[in-house]
A and B are shown apart, each in its own frame.
Chain A
């Protein structure tokens, strides 16, 4: 399966993260929250203007902007 970025997910989609390309401070923050390889992420909310989207990760709902979510790639699960 071809990996897709988190930002392309639709509400209800689930993926398993396989790459986190984010750099700098945000990378550390994402790690602390649990956005790391092998983690299942579900897109649960999309804000009224389509960006940001919110993702369910390790029991918490975290919103990310399009640019930031685009740096995280994953493979779709069924």
Chain B
């Protein structure tokens, strides 16, 4: 039996998703940075045959907003139907969190406060008196540490009580006398016209808040009566010394001071070491001389572990696939399968599939957990902090560094993540340039090319790979600058970037989550694409017209054009056919070179031989790597871009910009190499 619906709200990065997961048993992704959750999620909390629907909303600093990310939360809380709100607060930073909690309590009569991360707070010498907090605010309050399960049982009970018992007596925020009078004066009209009982909408209407007005405008008919009433009250306020433009500030300040007041009686800081440990770590990680080199070393180290760790399992996997392949082949022969069909299944489907799994799985399974650890520790916002100066001179937002980090995992995730950037102009820059970051579908291909052509050792390979990614970051900055001087003209908008406290990651959880959730998910997509792709490529390379196969015809058509850019027809063909998923680009190229009869694709030496035999030089490899970095986003990412930008123009630009970038860079490399080498 569903007995009610409760929304989870709170500041960004207070562990809301962790609380949600703990209550519902679901597996929403979490991470130690603001803006991790961009959409809302729904789940159920069951207890003794009763069920509560829980809705996890994206974290927000405020309900007063013009930003795309926070609009979701504001809209939901103001205009949807639900029974209560659970406001999750970070115990280490309760005062700031209460400012938001007060806004919610002004809107939702049944508000429950949940102070999370008590364990972290204790370590920092911060003590929260939950009882005092509840008494001061008039709201029910529970203290928990969601990550280790402390207090969750109490929280569950409190949630059911919230639904079953009458609304708590929230202690209202006090405003200056004249303001109180205006609020009381406007309230009946707001109730009559819009049907709101709570004080929150009255405040927003009184201060003439843009975000609220436009959201309300979509749902209610504009009320002349209310506008008149407001005008009257505003002029009365002006007579009492509060000018119209000061109203919003006064209202906000009263809430901030109220939060401060509550904390005076609910929070005690026993020692002043709250930030000292983080300061020490940060003096290295964001230090003037060490910040950038340490960042490069850290990423280089992750790449090195990925490159060197992936070799061995890759070889094992490809050997295993080959064995199963041979076994399958003889099985097919023994059941009397026609030779053509057998070749299609083995040479086409099976070989492409084994390549994708053998080459892609090991690096992903190593890279994702390592990257998740960086994310959980709270390092990513520091990357944004370190690099922001570069983004500023490019006319972009420093938070773009965060979306780029996400793009290293998956382009589509990076594009959705761009919602954390408030300015629409800067968000578009981040979306259009996001595919410059080699996602996990392309990273292993680049690793393979580096290994074949440039380095015998994995250490050198990792150094080159770090260089390749750093090069990509520089090109991202350059192209962002060009965009903000041309189609996306404008000056950088102000923004705030929160640097969360460092947290110890839960290693076991990280590995399980990143391997099973991320790796398997992305690999599954690659496999789904690899099967039909294997069929198509096999058909293309086995059906001949006038002595030439389709693949040969297609590549030879592209060849003269591709050669201008240091590539060849077959490579370009691979890129075009891998539009559904970048993972299959390299196997397609290999299959093209081998004339559709490819065996032992996973073996590095044979691949090297095959590529070299087809005129693949070091310059071709450089150009191919560059084109891997800059060509066009894969189909999934493009669909996401269309959805996020809502426009074909920007979707088109998201193809054109990387394509032009890639072609011009390849062209330059090719010309220079022709002239000097």
Q: Is the CB of B256 within 8 A of A54?
A: no
Q: Which one of A32, A48, A62, A63 lies within 8 Å of B100 (CB-CB)?
A: A32
Q: Is the CB of A45 within 8 A of B385?
A: yes
Q: Is the CB of A60 within 8 A of B93?
A: yes
For B209, give the chain A residue with the smallest CB separation.
A28
Q: Which one of B66, B99, B257 lies within 8 Å of A32 (CB-CB)?
A: B99
A18 to chain B, nearest CB (A): 13
A44 at the interface (CB under 8 A from B): yes
Q: Is the CB of A25 within 8 A of B422?
A: yes
B498 at the interface (CB under 8 A from A): yes
Given contacts A32-B99, A34-B96, A63-B497, contact A51 B65 (CB under 8 A): no
Given contacts A31-B252, A31-B256, contact A60 B96 (CB under 8 A): yes
Q: Which one of A32, A48, A51 lies within 8 Å of B392 (CB-CB)?
A: A51
What CA separation (Å) do A15 and B494 show in the bound complex?
Answer: 21
Residues of B within 8 A of A34 (CB): 95-96, 99, 256, 259
Residues of B within 8 A of A50 (CB): 288, 389
Q: Is the CB of A65 within 8 A of B256?
A: no
A49 to chain B, nearest CB (A): 4
Given contacts A26-B493, A52-B398, A60-B96, contact A47 B286 (CB under 8 A): yes
A56 at the interface (CB under 8 A from B): yes
Residues of B within 8 A of A46 (CB): 288
A29 at the interface (CB under 8 A from B): yes
Residues of B within 8 A of A45 (CB): 279, 282, 286, 385, 499
Q: Is the CB of A26 within 8 A of B253?
A: no
A70 to chain B, nearest CB (A): 10
Given contacts A32-B99, A47-B385, A58-B95, contact A65 B499 (CB under 8 A): no
B42 at the interface (CB under 8 A from A): no
Q: Is the CB of B252 within 8 A of A62?
A: no
Q: Is the CB of B96 within 8 A of A65?
A: no
Q: Is the CB of A26 within 8 A of B494?
A: yes
B64 at the interface (CB under 8 A from A): yes
Q: Is the CB of B256 within 8 A of A59?
A: no
Residues of A within 8 A of B497 (CB): 52, 62-64
Q: Is the CB of A51 within 8 A of B389?
A: yes
B417 to chain A, nearest CB (A): 18
B67 at the interface (CB under 8 A from A): yes
For A46, give the chain B residue with the smallest CB separation.
B288
Q: Is the CB of B422 within 8 A of A54?
A: no
B287 at the interface (CB under 8 A from A): yes
Residues of B within 8 A of A68 (CB): 494-496
Q: Is the CB of A59 within 8 A of B96?
A: yes
Q: Is the CB of B96 within 8 A of A33?
A: yes
Residues of A within 8 A of B256 (CB): 31, 34, 36, 39
Residues of B within 8 A of A29 (CB): 61-62, 495-496
A61 at the interface (CB under 8 A from B): yes
Residues of A within 8 A of B259 (CB): 34
For B94, give the chain A residue with the smallest CB separation.
A59
Q: Which one of B248, B257, B288 lies within 8 Å of A48 (CB-CB)?
A: B288
Q: Is the CB of A63 within 8 A of B389?
A: no
Q: Is the CB of B385 within 8 A of A52?
A: yes
B198 at the interface (CB under 8 A from A): no
A67 at the interface (CB under 8 A from B): yes
For B288, give the chain A residue with the smallest CB separation.
A48
A8 at the interface (CB under 8 A from B): no
B89 to chain A, nearest CB (A): 11
Residues of B within 8 A of A58 (CB): 93, 95-96, 260
Q: Which residues 80-110 in B have Cβ within 8 Å of A in the complex?
A: 92-96, 99-100
Q: Which one of B62, B392, B495, B498 lies within 8 Å of A28 (CB-CB)?
A: B62
What CA separation (Å) do A56 and B289 show in the bound complex?
Answer: 22
Q: Is the CB of A44 within 8 A of B279?
A: yes
Q: Is the CB of B95 within 8 A of A47?
A: no
Q: Is the CB of A51 within 8 A of B388?
A: yes
What CA separation (Å) do A12 and B287 show in the bound complex?
Answer: 14
Given contacts A25-B66, A44-B279, contact A33 B496 (CB under 8 A): yes
A19 to chain B, nearest CB (A): 11
What CA separation (Å) do A6 and B527 show in the bound complex?
Answer: 53
Residues of A within 8 A of B224 (CB): none
Q: Which one of A31, A59, A63, A67 lies within 8 Å of B385 (CB-CB)?
A: A63
What CA separation (Å) do A61 and B13 show in the bound complex?
Answer: 13
Q: Is the CB of A62 within 8 A of B288?
A: no
Q: Is the CB of A56 within 8 A of B275?
A: yes
Q: Is the CB of B286 within 8 A of A48?
A: yes
Residues of A within 8 A of B260 (CB): 58
What CA separation (Å) do A36 and B96 show in the bound complex?
Answer: 12
Please name 9 further chain A to chain B contacts, defined as beta carbons within 8 Å, in addition to the given A47-B286, A52-B389, sorted by A numbering. A31-B256, A33-B96, A33-B496, A38-B257, A48-B286, A51-B388, A62-B497, A65-B392, A68-B495
Contacts A/B (CB < 8 Å), 11 sampled: A34-B259, A37-B253, A44-B282, A47-B291, A52-B398, A59-B96, A60-B498, A62-B498, A63-B388, A63-B496, A65-B494
Interface positions of B (Cβ within 8 A of A): 61-62, 64-67, 92-96, 99-100, 248-249, 252-253, 256-257, 259-260, 274-275, 278-279, 282, 286-289, 291-292, 385-386, 388-390, 392, 398, 422, 492-501
10 pairs of A and B residues whose beta carbons are closest in the complex: A49-B389, A32-B62, A48-B291, A26-B494, A59-B93, A68-B494, A31-B252, A63-B497, A32-B61, A61-B499
